[in-house]
Structure 1
């Protein structure tokens, strides 16, 4: 079994989901008392978020690179960034380490294509929806990507940062997100990418007529394929 390197803390709720899902996956696939071989470096979410808001991306990259190099030195065979928004600096992080980085957008795009979905809606943080670093990477795989109208971005961002990262899961927010999914369906989306780990705490397949592509679940499955393969 290979050792999985995790750069987390963005948010800690997200990292907890990754850690639990990886270990549950190993238990299911291997059995017995088996658990995941993993190295986790957890950064300060407040610090990197403040730098993001100031557009100080080189400083964000330096923090995540240092964390990635730490898990590499500790013996990780490959690397996951346990975040969507901060994949903004994924290329810089990957260039600074000697182990492969399993890019989240590549994993999600392959899952969409495996289900013959060519047009997807994308929900995430306001930053991830309003910038193209992640959606462009999806589009490089031949996917057409739809995002909600900008007038909805602040409300979804508040659901993520004011509720979900603190473990608050509200039915009213679920109804809001389901409404956005329906709008993206009307716009032509044939599937829906949950582009933020915390959204998986709020919305599940029974809530949506569209097939959901939950980023964290897919990222974990791809990591297990690599680690156990």
Structure 2
């Protein structure tokens, strides 16, 4: 099994907390198959998170393309972007490289399809919730509709994610806020909730809400392991 493993390139750094979670999950999940005495071949490039905070889309696209090419040249057979928001670069980068980028929305869509979910509420930071890079894939590839919190709640959600969760802070106020948003999304017809931030599943446990939750990081990590192990 270990002789046939494919090398995976990982683009991390946004945030480094998220990157650690990906690295841990991929090794743990692979270990259940190949044994704890072995580990999968991974190449990690950690980007400075300041790049994302500048919100210069051209600069972000150029950086992710350059890093993707470096990982490809280093022998990676596929790439995983270790966070939700940077998937905004997918449509720009993927056509310019020869190896696949494993899209986080595909990992989420396959699980939603398996569970029979048709309308998903999406929680995360502002770019993830208001961008089209997750809803587009879910709609085109799986026929799944995506809804987000009302505009009045988006600034607070973004604040909790960027100022607390990505800094490793998990407050009762944040937990209460996101549980309330889940209730509101369910009332609007959501039959499942996308936890579209690596740290959200650490804040909101599955048994704390009465609706299926899809933790994108875990699903994405499993998709990565399936690729590595063929």
Q: TM-score, normalised by structure 2?
A: 0.94
1:177-192 correspondence runs (5 A): 177-192=178-193
Does the CA contact (< 8 Å) of 1:121 and 1:191 recur in 2?
Answer: yes
Question: Shift of residue 134 of structure 1?
Answer: 2.0
Does the CA contact (< 8 Å) of 2:88 and 2:131 recur in 1?
Answer: no
Please give the secondary structure, in 1, of the residue aligned with 2:134.
helix
- Map of 1:116 onto structure 2: 116
Alpha-carbon distance in 2 for matches of 1:5, 1:204: 29
Alpha-carbon distance in 2 for matches of 1:148, 1:45: 25
1:63-102 per-residue CA deviation (whole Å, 9 max, x = no partner) reads: 1111111211221110111121121111212122211111
Question: Shift of residue 157 of structure 1?
Answer: 0.6
Runs of 4+ in 1 over 6 A off after TM superposition: none
- Map of 1:31 onto structure 2: 35
| Bigger shift: residues 210-219 or 135-144 | 135-144
Selected match of 2:50 from 46, 50, 65 = 46
Does the CA contact (< 8 Å) of 1:163 and 1:169 recur in 2?
Answer: yes
- Map of 1:62 onto structure 2: 62
1:120-162 per-residue CA deviation (whole Å, 9 max, x = no partner) reads: 1111111221232321221212001111101111111111111
1:1-229 correspondence runs (5 A): 1-50=5-54, 52=55, 56-140=56-140, 141-229=142-230
Please give the secondary structure, in 2, of the residue aligned with 1:133.
coil
Alpha-carbon distance in 1 for matches of 2:214, 2:133: 18
Does the CA contact (< 8 Å) of 1:41 and 1:70 recur in 2?
Answer: no
List gaps (5 residues or longer) in structure 2.
none
- Matched length: 225
Does the CA contact (< 8 Å) of 1:7 and 1:80 recur in 2?
Answer: yes
Alpha-carbon distance in 2 for matches of 1:210, 1:151: 23
Alpha-carbon distance in 2 for matches of 1:43, 1:95: 21
Please give the secondary structure, in 1, of the residue aligned with 2:51.
helix
List gaps (5 residues or longer) in structure 1.
none
Q: TM-score, normalised by structure 1?
A: 0.94
Alpha-carbon distance in 2 for matches of 1:136, 1:125: 17
Alpha-carbon distance in 1 for matches of 2:201, 2:48: 22
